[in-house]
Structure 1
Amino acid sequence: MRTPHKNLCLALALSTALLSGCASIVGDSSYPIAVSSTPGGASFEVKDSTGKVVHSGITPSTVTLKSGEGYFDGAEYTIAFKKDGYADQEVKLDSSLSGWYWGNILFGGLIGMLIVDPLTGAMYKLPEEANAQMGAQLVGGDAGKDLTLLTIDQLPEAQRDQLIRIN
């Protein structure tokens, strides 16, 4: 025969098992992302999938972003980097399925797998870092962004004489 104390413990254990998901217990629904650039000191804006700016700052920095965007929908972000004298860069951050989500088969059950983890976003994870390689410094600010192509017929005779055939 069970005592009220044992019944209460059993009820608490059962409700904990049924109302939790494995990824929400072990994982998280928000992740710190190390944002950096080469060279450092670039300004950046983090935009969600709707184009709304959710964070901005100067590299290096750490931002905390949600991994889920809705029921069974992982978050996607775009980080735009800008630095005077360098070409602008964009980096995409996509969430991916967390390995802990599959722990629901053992620990969280169907409620964790189909309700808790998808609603909280804990079934997804984000990369630990985002880095932009700003490339070579542009000479004169915007110099190097325009390219003009000419045929040999458009060159003056003096420049044609200086050409070297390579094939």
Structure 2
Amino acid sequence: MKKLLLTSLIALTLGINGCATIVSGSSQTVTFTSVPESATIEIKNRKGVKIHTGQTPATVSLKKGAGYFKPESYQVSFSKAGYQSKTVEVTGTLSGWYFGNILFGGLIGILIVDPVTGAMFKLAPKDVNTVLESQNLSSKSQKEPTLTVMLAEDMPTQIMARAIQIK
């Protein structure tokens, strides 16, 4: 009985190569929204290579790793005629699933599979919501606070989900 249990445990450990690879994979979908909608987005990786060009709202699958034990990072540029351009960074950070290798993946998962595939990382933020400032407003002093009022139906659903009603 002990031999069967030990054999099963070894087979399970060798069979599950990388916990994060199995659970989360080597790429992640990230949603990009903007106010106003239909802004052009351009995504470049850490090497400056253009990965994606499109319009908001958009959902894009991005690689989480840039090499062995190296997280990927992206520069996302939002632009629209009549509005000031804005750049947001999406970066890879260590995923909690990587530590599942201690129990299931063993050294193969810790040192080889998850680091090579990039599955040991997660991209943050997973939803990028940005508000582009009108060029008319950008000419005002940066020290002067501004308030932008919008209709609820013009707001993306991701932003409205976090909205708080003021009474």
Q: Same fold (TM over 0.5)?
A: yes
Maintained 8 Å contact 1:90/1:132:
no
1:44-83 alignment, distance < 5 Å:
44-83=41-80
The separation in 1 between residues aligned to 2:138 and 2:88, in whole angstroms, is 23
- Structure 2 partner of 1:103: 100
Question: Structure 1 segments of 4 or more deviating over 2 A?
Answer: 9-15, 142-147
Maintained 8 Å contact 1:101/1:123:
yes
1:1-167 alignment, distance < 5 Å:
13=12, 15-17=14-16, 20-127=17-124, 128-135=126-133, 137-139=134-136, 144=139
Aligned residues: 135
The separation in 2 between residues aligned to 1:10 and 1:129, in whole angstroms, is 39
Maintained 8 Å contact 1:44/1:56:
yes
Unaligned runs of 5+ in 2: 1-7, 143-167
1:98-151 deviation per Cα after TM superposition (whole angstroms, max 9, x unaligned)? 10000000000111001110000000011321122212x223xx982899xxxx
> What's the C-alpha RMSD, in Å, of the aligned pairs?
2.6
Maintained 8 Å contact 1:29/1:125:
no
When Rg is computed on C-alpha atoms for both structures, the one with the higher figure is 1
Identity %: 45
Report the AA paired with residue 23 of structure 1: A
